[in-house]
Structures are given as structure tokens and as C-alpha cells.
Structure 1
Amino acid sequence: MTSSRKNSSPNSPSSKPPRSFNRKFLYSSILFVFLGVIAFITYSIQSESPEYGFKIPLREGLHSPPYIYTLDITVENQLKRIPPTSGNHFEALSPWGFLGTPVVPENAVHNMEHGGVVLWYKPNNPALAGSVNQLIDHIGRKCIVAGSYKDMSYEISATVWGRILPLEKFDATQLKDFIAKYRGTQGPEAPLCKSQS
């Protein structure tokens, strides 16, 4: 009697794939989906990064007069004076970094047009000036101008082209966040400050 039983070898085409192949495929698929979820979450977080301060309507930015910088806004039902965030300006830029002297608005507005951040602080306060100077030493002077400015309601304000962060008191964390978000990114000629400062 002959046996009708067929011998199947593990290498024959009709054999099932080994279990290790199925597991590798499963683990690879899970890893791929996991990485996709991480990438999506990271993208969502970056695209929803917070805005700092608030927008100010843009003024024309010519290299000629008139130079009009008086700007009053209403904040919490109170009229507040703020430094300029755009407008006509001189052709010359302000020097970059901590000035230790009053900011010349006609120059600083040009710095903002080039993507710079301007820190305006109340004069006659050596401790405040020292804090601003230390902040700039810590984060670097690239694309930053800082100097005193008397014609405002706040102790310190950070501005870029069309945006302001006004502060009643010096707050290094808020200023760093504002600078990190907007330095070199705002203004019609924003990339220029990175090569100038």
C-alpha cells in the first residue's frame, strides 16, 4: 500500500510564511502609524504657536517726512500712548544692540522695517536700563535695538513692524518670547536685519 500523503517542505511555495515575518510586518506597521501621529501632533503644535502682544494698524513706510509717531490706543477702557510700530522713517538705521541713550524713532522704525525688534523703556531708571542690557547680553543683539523713550504710557514695550507687546513692568520671560517669535520675521524687508546686525 502506498501512502498518498504528500511531504511538504518548508521551502515549498504552498507553505505559510513564518510567524516571524507576520510579527515584523505588524511591528513595522505600528511603528509607522506611531511616527505619523507624532509628526501630525508636532506640526499641529508648531502651526498653533501663540501670538504675543497685539497687532497695530500699519502706517505707510516711506523714507521721507512726515514723521508722525504719536499713537494712542485704548486698553481696558484707558487711553494709552505707545511707541511707533510702522510709518515713515529716515534712510539710516539705528545702531543694533543696547544703545544706553534715547531711541530715535525715525531710525528705529527703519530697523523694524528690516525685521528688527525695538525695546523702548522709560528713561531715568538705571535698574530698568540694566535689566534690558542684561537681557540683550543673554539673547544676543542680532536684530534688536534698545533704548529709552519717554513718550509712552508703559514702563517697557517691545515692537516689531505692526505689532507691540506693552508691559507695565519689566518681564524677561515675556520679552524673550516676543523676541524669539518675531525677531527677523516681521516687516516688508524682514530678512535684512540678519545680515546687518
Structure 2
Amino acid sequence: MRNENAVHDLEHGAVWIAYDPAISTSAVRTLEKQLPQNGIMAPYPGLPAPVVVTVWGRQLRLGRADDERLARFIADFGHGETAPEPAASCAGGSRDPQGGHGPEGTQV
């Protein structure tokens, strides 16, 4: 995932769950279960903690995927409360996490 795409999603109220690529498959599944509909999730090397959850202007570092603070953070900030453009839709955006374009300049 490109940082630019993630920041744009955050601007519109998304929750970004980034995790160390070395965490276990079961830990990734645990995170997936908590990912809200307006969420994005991706491995991200070099994080300051095994799991980092971010919304616009707020961030929480977690030592493990099953930390109960994740659910509270999403409940408190996961609906675009801090985002500058929470009601603006990103529908129809790029499905390519690298931001690529298809034929004739159309986004893929």
C-alpha cells in the first residue's frame, strides 16, 4: 500500500491498522476481525510496535493483536470523528494498492 493512498483514506475517516510483517498469521486474523468497514490493513516494516492503529490525528501503538485497547480506540475514533473530510466518499478509487492505472488512464 502506498502511503499516499493510506493518508487519503485517513483524511476521509478511515481506520488504518498497520502491523509488523513478522507477526503470526493468527495475530493477523485477530486484527482482521476488528477491522471496521471503513478500515484498511496492511503489513508495514519498521513500525515502532508490532501493531499500530491510526486515524486522522490519533495513533495507538500495541504490543499484541489481541490488546483490548484496539476495540476501544476504534469505538472512540473509528467513525471519522477526527478526519477533516469524514463524509466525502472515496468510492470508485483505485483498487491497485500501488496506485496504478489501466488502459487510457483509467484507474484500476
TM-score > 0.5 by shorter chain: yes
Q: CA RMSD in A?
A: 1.9
The separation in 2 between residues aligned to 1:104 and 1:128, in whole angstroms, is: 23
Counterpart contact for 2:13–2:56, Cα < 8 Å: yes
Q: Which residue of 1 aligns with 2:75?
A: 180
Counterpart contact for 1:121–1:128, Cα < 8 Å: no
Residue type at the aligned position of 1:135: Q
- Aligned match for 1:191, one of 81, 87, 90: 87
- Aligned match for 1:134, one of 33, 56, 76: 33
The separation in 2 between residues aligned to 1:115 and 1:156, in whole angstroms, is: 19
Residues 102-124 of structure 1 deviation map (CA, whole Å, 9 limit, x = unaligned): x4321111111001110011113
Counterpart contact for 2:11–2:83, Cα < 8 Å: yes
1:172 offset after TM fit, Å? Answer: 4.5
Runs of 4+ aligned residues of structure 1 deviating over 4 Å after TM superposition are none
The separation in 2 between residues aligned to 1:192 and 1:124, in whole angstroms, is: 34
Length-normalised TM-score, structure 1: 0.41
Counterpart contact for 2:14–2:55, Cα < 8 Å: yes
Are residues 1:114 and 2:12 paired?
yes
The separation in 1 between residues aligned to 2:32 and 2:83, in whole angstroms, is: 24
The separation in 2 between residues aligned to 1:115 and 1:107, in whole angstroms, is: 13
Number of matched residues? 89
Q: Which residue of 2 aligns with 1:150?
A: 45
1:129 offset after TM fit, Å? Answer: 1.2
1:159 offset after TM fit, Å? Answer: 0.5
Unmatched 5+ stretches in structure 2: 92-108
Identity %: 30
Counterpart contact for 1:112–1:186, Cα < 8 Å: no
Length-normalised TM-score, structure 2: 0.71
Are residues 1:167 and 2:62 paired?
yes
Residue type at the aligned position of 1:152: L
- Greater helix content: 1
Counterpart contact for 2:28–2:65, Cα < 8 Å: no
Counterpart contact for 1:185–1:191, Cα < 8 Å: no
1:171 offset after TM fit, Å? Answer: 3.2
What SS does the corresponding residue of 1:124 show, helix, strand or coil? coil
Counterpart contact for 2:15–2:53, Cα < 8 Å: yes
The separation in 2 between residues aligned to 1:154 and 1:147, in whole angstroms, is: 14
1:38-117 correspondence runs (5 A): 103-117=1-15
Residue type at the aligned position of 1:133: E
What SS does the corresponding residue of 1:142 show, helix, strand or coil? coil
What SS does the corresponding residue of 1:165 show, helix, strand or coil? strand
